[in-house]
Amino acid sequence: MAVILRLRRMGAKKKPIYRIVATDVRNKRDGRFIETVGQYDPNKEEGQVSVKADRVEHWLKSGAQLSDTVKSLLKKQAKTANQ
């Protein structure tokens, strides 16, 4: 089973909130998922990202891939955490 960490859209119309989930590559964007590992709220001024770092690390060690968007969000969060 190939696992990917990607965004799952939630929230109201015109006010999306995305959850970062671990899911099988073959599942739909908002379909079944294995575990929620974080959340991204683009409605906030800075685009608030909260992540369970230990669970992301676990999935990456297990061979999970990151979607391009999740990869860039994690890089942004790492930059702001270091400053």
C-alpha span between 62 and 34 (Å, rounded)? 13
Displacement of CA 7 from its chain's centroid (Å) = 5
Which residues of the chain fall below pLDDT 70?
none
**pTM to 2 decimals?**
0.89
What pLDDT is stored for residue 8 in this prediction? Answer: 95
C-alpha span between 1 and 34 (Å, rounded)? 12
What pLDDT is stored for residue 12 in this prediction? Answer: 94
Does the domain made of 3-82 have the CATH classification 3.30.1320.10? Answer: yes
C-alpha span between 71 and 16 (Å, rounded)? 19
CB of 72 within 8 A of CB of 49? Answer: no
